[in-house]
C-alpha cells in the first residue's frame, strides 16, 4: 500500500508538515482561522541533537497493536490497509497511546478521544498533505510494500 | 472444519478474525452466556456514567458475524466439555461437536467471604453490561459502597458520580489501584477522585455486613443503600479443569495458545501467559493481551503458524479526567519526576527498562512500552533523553530509519 515515509537526512525541521496536517484536518477552508491558537497535528516532528529532525506519523502497521488494544473497537484496519479511528466510538482511554511504538496516536485537542493519521482519507486534502507540502521532499507518499 | 468458540468478548472476537484470516470455509459457532453481541467490556463504566449508550459499546459493526460467516448462540452457556467425544454441552441441552475448540470464558467476579454478605439486600458485581444496566437502574440518589479500590471498583465509582447520592470506596489496601500504582501516583488518583465527590476508606478491611451497614476492622461503620463487590476476579477455568485440562490460577497454554487437551485452545482472561517482564506464567487480565492471544489461537486453530511470545502488563485508564498508563514490573532503580497531578516513574535494572508509571503525562507512552516489549538494551539508546520524555530521537539512527522508511 502507499504510505508515508520520511528521510531524516532531508528534513529541515521546519515543522510545516504539522501545520499542513492541522489545516487539512481542521475542516476549515481558511488557513488563518484553522491555525489560530494551539494546533493538534497528527504528525509530529522530533528535533534531536546534532541538527537531526524527522517527522513521525502512523505507520499503518500490518499487525497494528493499537487495533488489538482498543477497548471500544474504535480502531480498525480498512480493506485498503489504512488504520482508522472512529472517534464517535472512542472513549479516550488511550490504551492505543500506551501501545503505539511510534508515538503516532495521541489525544485530540480536547483530550476526549484519540486521533491519528488516516493518510488524509478522512478529509478533503486528497493526497496526504504533509507529503504534498514538504518543501524538501523529506516526507513522501509511496508504495514500499 | 468445525470451530467452536466458547465466550464472546475480546479473545473470541480476535480468534474469529484470526480463523477467517486463514480459513474462509469452515463453520464457526460462538457460544455466549450473555444475551448481547460482543461489546467493549471496559465500556460498561461509560454506559453506567451515561457517557455512551449500550448500543455504542458494540465491539464490532452490526453485520460482523454475518460477514465472518459465524453463528452466534446467545444466552446459552457451555456447561461441560467432553474432550474424548469432542463435544461441548450447553445449558439448553444442545450438544456442539468440534474439530477445534477455543475456551475464552474470561473471569468471574471474586466474592470475598465477608460475614453477613448474604444479609445485604442490594448487592452488585461489575463485570457485564447487564451488571452496569442493573446498577444504573438502582443507583440514582442512593448511597453506594464499593468494596475494592482496583480498576473495576474505581471505574464503577467514576460511573456512579453524578447519579449516586454518595460513593464510598473501601479497600484493605492503603492505596487505590494497588496492582498498578505506587504510593505517590495512587495519592494523585485518590485526590482527583475525592475532588469528584468519592470518599475512601482505605487500609481498613470490610469485616462484616449487617443488612445495609458495613463494619470495618478499625471499628468504623458505613451505612449504604447498595453495595458493589469489586474485589477482583477469578479466571473461569472450570470447563477445562473439569475436563482434565491443566490449570493453575488460569488455564495453562503454550505459545500457540494450546491447552493440554487435544485441539482445545484458550485465550483471554481465563488463561495464563508468560509475562516477559516478571519472567513467569501468570494471568494478565488485560484487554490487549486477550486480543493478541485470541488472534494467535484463531490462526493456529485454522492451521496457521502463530506464536504469542511477548505478553506483558500494560494498563491505560482514564479516571475523573486524569490519564494513567503503566507497564511492566516495578523493580530496580527508578527515575521520578512530577509536579501537582503529573507524575512519572521509570524503573530500570540490568541495562533495561523494567516498568513505568505515568500519570497525566501519557503522550508517546507506547515508545516506553516498546522498550519493554522489545527488551531494548538501554546502552543502545539515549536513556537520559528518554527520561525526560518518550522519543524516537533517542534511538540510534539506523534503528529509527528501519522504523520510518520501511513498511511495518
Structural domain boundaries of chain A? Answer: 1-57+123-145, 60-116
Q: Per residue in B165-222, pLDDT tens?
A: 999 999 999 999 999 999 999 999 999 999 999 999 999 999 999 999 999 999 999 9
pTM of the predicted model, to two decimals? Answer: 0.96
Give the confidence band of A145 by pLDDT, cuts at 50, 70, 90.
confident
> Residue A106: its chain B contacts at CB < 8 A?
363-364
Pick the CATH number of A1-57+123-145 from 3.40.50, 3.30.70, 3.30.310, 2.120.10: 3.30.70
Per DSSP (E only), the strands in B189-250 are 198-202, 206-210, 213-216, 221-223, 226-229, 233-235
Across the interface, whether the CB atoms of A69 and B287 are under 8 A apart is answered yes
Across the interface, whether the CB atoms of B363 and A107 are under 8 A apart is answered yes
Question: A-side interface with B, Cβ within 8 Å?
Answer: 1, 3, 5-8, 46-49, 52, 54, 56, 59-62, 65, 68-73, 88-89, 91-103, 105-107, 144-145
Q: Cβ of A30: how many Cβ atoms within 10 Å? A: 10
Q: CA dihedral defined by A12, A18, A24, A29, rounded to 10 degrees?
A: -90
Give residue B187's pLDDT.
98
Fold of A60-116: Alpha-Beta Plaits (3.30.70)
Q: Do the domains A60-116 and A1-57+123-145 match in fold?
A: yes
Give the confidence band of A52 by pLDDT, cuts at 50, 70, 90.
very high
Give the confidence band of A58 by pLDDT, cuts at 50, 70, 90.
very high
Q: Cβ of B341: how many Cβ atoms within 10 Å? A: 15
How much is the CA Rg of chain A, to the nearest whole Å? 15
- Nearest chain B residue (CA) to A64: B408
Q: Is B84 on the interface with A (CB under 8 A)?
A: no
Give residue B159's pLDDT.
98
β-pair partners for B3: B28, B100
Give residue A40's pLDDT.
95
Give residue B337's pLDDT.
97
Please give the interface size between A and B, counted as residue pairs whose CB atoms are below 8 Å apart.
139
Give the confidence band of A126 by pLDDT, cuts at 50, 70, 90.
confident
Mutate to test the interface with B, among A90, A101, A140 (most CBs of B within 10 A): A101
Q: What percentage of residues in chain B have a pLDDT greater than 90?
A: 99
Of the listed ranges A24-33, B89-98, B243-252, the one predicted with least confidence:
A24-33
Q: What is the mean pLDDT of chain B?
A: 97
Give residue A37's pLDDT.
87
- When pLDDT is averaged across residues A19-40 and rounded to a whole number, the result is 93
User: Is the alpha carbon torsion for B7, B8, B14, B20 positive or negative?
Assistant: positive
Across the interface, whether the CB atoms of A97 and B362 are under 8 A apart is answered yes
Amino acid at each position: 500500500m502507499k504510505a508515508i515515509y520520511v528521510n531524516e537526512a532531508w528534513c529541515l525541521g521546519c515543522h510545516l508538515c504539522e501545520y499542513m496536517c492541522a489545516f487539512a484536518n481542521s475542516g476549515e477552508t481558511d488557513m488563518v482561522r484553522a491555525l489560530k491558537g494551539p494546533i493538534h497535528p497528527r504528525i509530529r516532528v522530533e528535533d534531536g541533537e546534532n541538527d537531526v529532525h524527522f517527522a513521525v506519523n502512523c505507520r499503518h502497521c500490518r499487525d497494528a497493536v493499537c487495533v488489538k488494544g482498543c477497548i471500544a473497537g474504535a480502531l480498525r484496519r480498512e480493506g485498503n490497509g489504512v488504520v482508522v479511528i472512529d472517534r464517535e466510538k472512542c472513549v479516550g482511554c488511550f490504551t492505543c497511546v500506551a501501545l503505539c511504538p511510534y508515538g503516532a496516536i495521541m489525544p485530540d485537542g480536547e483530550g476526549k478521544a484519540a486521533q491519528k493519521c488516516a493518510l488524509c482519507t478522512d478529509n478533503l486534502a486528497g493526497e496526504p498533505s504533509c507529503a504534498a507540502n514538504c518543501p524538501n521532499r523529506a516526507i513522501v507518499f509511496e508504495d514500499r510494500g | 472444519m468445525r470451530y467452536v468458540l466458547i465466550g464472546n468478548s475480546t479473545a473470541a472476537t480476535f480468534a474469529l478474525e484470526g480463523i477467517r484470516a486463514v480459513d474462509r470455509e469452515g463453520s464457526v459457532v460462538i457460544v455466549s452466556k450473555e444475551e448481547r453481541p460482543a461489546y467493549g467490556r471496559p465500556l460498561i463504566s461509560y454506559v453506567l456514567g451515561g457517557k455512551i449508550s449500550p448500543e455504542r459499546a458494540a465491539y464490532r459493526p452490526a453485520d460482523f458475524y454475518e460477514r465472518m460467516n459465524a453463528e452466534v448462540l446467545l444466552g446459552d452457556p457451555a456447561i461441560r466439555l467432553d474432550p474424548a467425544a469432542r463435544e461441548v454441552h450447553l445449558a439448553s441441552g444442545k450438544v456442539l461437536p468440534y474439530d477445534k475448540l477455543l475456551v475464552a470464558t474470561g473471569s468471574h467476579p471474586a466474592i470475598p467471604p465477608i460475614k453477613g454478605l448474604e444479609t445485604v439486600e442490594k448487592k452488585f458485581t461489575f463485570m457485564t453490561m447487564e451488571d452496569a444496566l442493573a446498577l444504573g437502574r438502582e443507583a440514582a440518589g442512593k448511597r453506594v459502597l464499593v468494596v475494592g479500590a482496583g480498576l473495576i471498583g474505581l471505574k464503577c465509582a467514576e460511573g456512579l458520580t453524578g447519579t449516586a447520592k454518595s460513593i464510598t470506596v473501601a479497600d484493605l489496601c492503603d492505596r487505590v489501584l494497588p496492582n498498578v500504582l505506587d504510593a505517590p501516583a495512587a495519592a494523585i488518583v485518590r485526590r482527583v477522585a475525592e475532588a469528584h465527590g468519592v470518599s475512601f476508606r482505605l487500609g481498613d478491611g470490610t469485616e462484616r455486613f449487617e443488612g445495609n451497614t458495613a463494619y470495618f476492622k478499625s471499628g468504623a461503620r458505613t451505612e449504604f443503600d447498595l453495595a458493589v463487590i469489586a474485589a477482583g476476579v477469578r479466571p473461569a477455568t472450570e470447563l477445562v479443569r473439569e475436563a482434565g485440562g491443566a490449570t493453575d490460577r488460569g488455564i495453562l497454554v503454550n505459545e500457540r495458545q494450546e491447552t493440554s487437551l487435544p485441539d482445545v485452545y484458550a485465550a483471554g482472561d481465563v488463561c495464563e501467559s508468560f509475562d516477559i517482564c516478571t519472567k513467569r506464567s501468570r494471568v494478565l487480565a488485560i484487554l490487549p493481551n486477550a486480543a493478541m492471544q485470541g488472534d494467535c489461537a484463531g490462526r493456529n486453530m485454522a492451521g496457521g503458524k502463530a506464536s504469542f511470545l511477548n505478553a506483558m502488563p500494560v494498563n491505560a485508564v482514564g479516571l475523573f479526567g486524569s490519564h494513567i498508563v503503566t507497564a511492566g514490573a516495578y523493580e530496580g532503580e527508578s527515575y521520578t519526576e512530577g509536579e501537582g497531578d503529573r507524575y512519572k516513574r521509570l524503573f530500570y535494572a540490568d541495562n533495561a527498562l523494567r516498568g513505568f508509571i505515568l500519570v497525566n503525562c501519557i503522550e508517546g507512552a507506547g515508545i516506553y512500552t516498546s522498550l519493554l516489549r522489545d527488551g531494548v538494551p538501554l546502552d543502545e539508546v539515549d536513556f537520559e533523553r528518554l527520561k525526560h520524555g518518550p522519543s524516537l530521537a533517542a534511538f540510534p539512527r539506523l534503528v529509527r530509519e528501519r522504523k520510518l522508511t520501511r513498511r511495518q
